Structure 1
């Protein structure tokens, strides 16, 4: 099960719904791979794995993207192709999209902690280049619509209201969940959608 905490978130990795999951034993747990699963928290027996965290940051100042691209290492800027500087760091391994408005999007982290750490590092890089950036307004991004248009996108885009999560569901059984602000929202959203997916799978033979 591949998940992105963030936009599309995030999206990344992949996994098959129900694939590789054992049956409940006498102790009230199933085995996913070699790890026991707490059925009280994950009734389906499947534990979503976060693969990509997407965070947004407001640096609170306008930025000269050309200057940033010229002075910062690991930075790319081609305004004819994309209106943001693309910057990368190795630890944690992430990519930032930095806009002239001071908004920044950080992608690629494997955990919430790494996403926050990376965002702070990017903010410090910008500060050292002479911009009065402040680190505030960190918020995990979320989707805002739902649709199924296979001519444009091969998956069903489903917007869940509670918790407020966007799910990308593909005919292969692969799912991406985005928009969560905390890890438990991913778990809750998956448990809400799992019975619907399994029922649909049985009747429609995905």
Structure 2
């Protein structure tokens, strides 16, 4: 027996040829090369991960020092949302419904067309109209909540951007300009009243702007550094309020002694005058057409929530109830003129008018009046807006009245604050409030100022006029003459 073959047999258990030996060595060489390659990739990955971690730590340190962490988080969230939307856009959504009649038949429905199909089915089924039931109001596209129209305050950041006609990202640059900074402080002290917004509505309070901090809210120490945290951390721990823009400065309010209070711009708002109600006028019939006395009485008998007593008042009184326990009264005259009183705001004037028109059309159908054409809204306009404001401190109305009398005598050296005040009257034995007549570009406005700080403004038809008079005349008067 050959010794080599025996050695091969004793080592491997089988006789290995020369070709098989070469293949085995080649496989082992390839496996060794692959192991070395994987080892090199692993080492390279570890080096890259270490470098990325070091860069990330440096960026986080820089972002934290500059107070830009919220901005970075917003960018990351926007990117994640875009990725999710992109993934969802690639998927095809189908809803397969099995019919009740035949289990084998299946129907594929596009979820986007579900609302259209439902609307078609509702159009096919028509319910009989009942003139004695109040018709449902039509849905308004993109309805806005009532709180937006009656908002008593505007965020201070938005107000400053609007005042200086700049973008939000450019606002922080203004605070580094000494002249602009001084202008903003003087404006907030003399012509604006500031109020907190981060607490419960009944616990928010009025503050005064004495200065701005040089450093942002993410660096300024809270409570004079006793707690060892910044203003940003204090509001997060104490009130659970996370600042979205911590790189903006804080408002400083001076207290007794060396006490200083710091308020971020996000928790401060500018107080506005509240729109209580407005009065609107429109006509139901075009031109000089009017209701006959017979048809007018039929409409009154078949009306919805109507009251008609010609001995007491010669118009039909229709009451409309809506949200927030408020009622709007519509006075319908025989000349087809309608006066709406108690409308919450200007935005809801057309909605209230359309409800009156629908009710009137239902009344004419119930009374079988065919001579009249279809009633519509014509020449709708606002005739009066009532605004109110409650100052937190009492007002020295006697000093205001005395100052106005002095300014009326000195016509040449009249202050700008009293230029538009035409008339003032104050007699506490007759009426407890100071009555002012303020001349506007289009019409005169009446203003009542009480000692308690309550202010009522009437006679204007545009909200912009109310804001202008409140910001430039009424509020500066209240801030200049407090009752000490």
Shorter chain as denominator, the TM-score bin is 0.5 to 0.7
- What runs of 5+ residues in structure 1 fail to find an aligned partner? 1-17, 38-44
Match of 1:48 among 251, 256, 273: 273
Distance in structure 2 (CA, Å) of the matches to 1:147 and 1:141: 24
- Residue number in structure 1 paired with 2:352: 118
Checking the alignment, whether the CA contact within 8 Å between 2:329 and 2:342 is kept in structure 1 is yes
Higher relative contact order by CA 8 Å / sep ≥ 6: 1 or 2? Answer: 1
Question: What does residue 449 of structure 2 align with?
Answer: 170
Match of 2:207 among 22, 29, 32: 22
Task: Flag structure 2 segments of 5+ consecutive residues without an equivalent.
Answer: 1-192, 196-204, 213-248, 252-262, 365-371, 386-421
Alignment partner of 1:102 is 2:344: no
- Give distance in 1, aligned partners of 2:446 and 2:250: 28
Provide the rounded CA distance (Å) in 1 between the counterparts of 2:424 and 2:471: 21
User: Of 69, 72, 87, which aligns to 2:300?
Assistant: 69
Contact 1:168 1:176 in 2 (8 A): yes
RMSD: 3.7
Instruction: Name the structure 2 match of 1:90.
Output: 321
The farther-off stretch of 163-172 and 102-111 is 163-172
* Pair member with larger Rg: 2
1: CA distance, partners of 2:355 / 2:341? 13
More helix by share: 2
TM (norm. structure 2) is: 0.31
Q: 1:77 to 1:162 in 2, by over 3 A?
A: same
Deviation at 1:83, TM superposition (A): 2.2
- Aligned match of 1:11: none
CA gap of 1:59–1:162, structure 2 versus 1, over 3 A, is same
Cα distance in 2 for partners of 1:58, 1:99 equals 10
Q: Which has the higher strand share?
A: 1
- 1:77 CA displacement: 1.3
2:283 aligned residue (58, 78, 90)? 58
- The answer as to whether partners of 1:53 and 1:111 remain within 8 angstroms in 2 is yes
Cross-structure match for 1:81: 312
Q: How many aligned positions are there?
A: 177
Give the drift of 1:126: 1.9
SS at match of 2:281: strand
In the TM superposition, residue 157 of structure 1 has moved relative to its aligned partner by 5.0
Q: Given the superposition, is the C-alpha separation of residues 95 and 116 from structure 1 closer, same or farther in structure 2, using an over 3 Å criterion?
A: same
Q: Write the distance in 2 (CA, Å) between the matches of 1:154 and 1:105.
A: 31
Q: Is the 8 A contact 1:77 1:86 kept in 2?
A: yes
Q: Is the 8 A contact 2:357 2:377 kept in 1?
A: yes
Q: Is residue 278–residue 384 contact of structure 2 (8 Å, CA) maintained in 1?
A: no
Residue 185 (structure 1) aligned with residue 410 (structure 2):
no
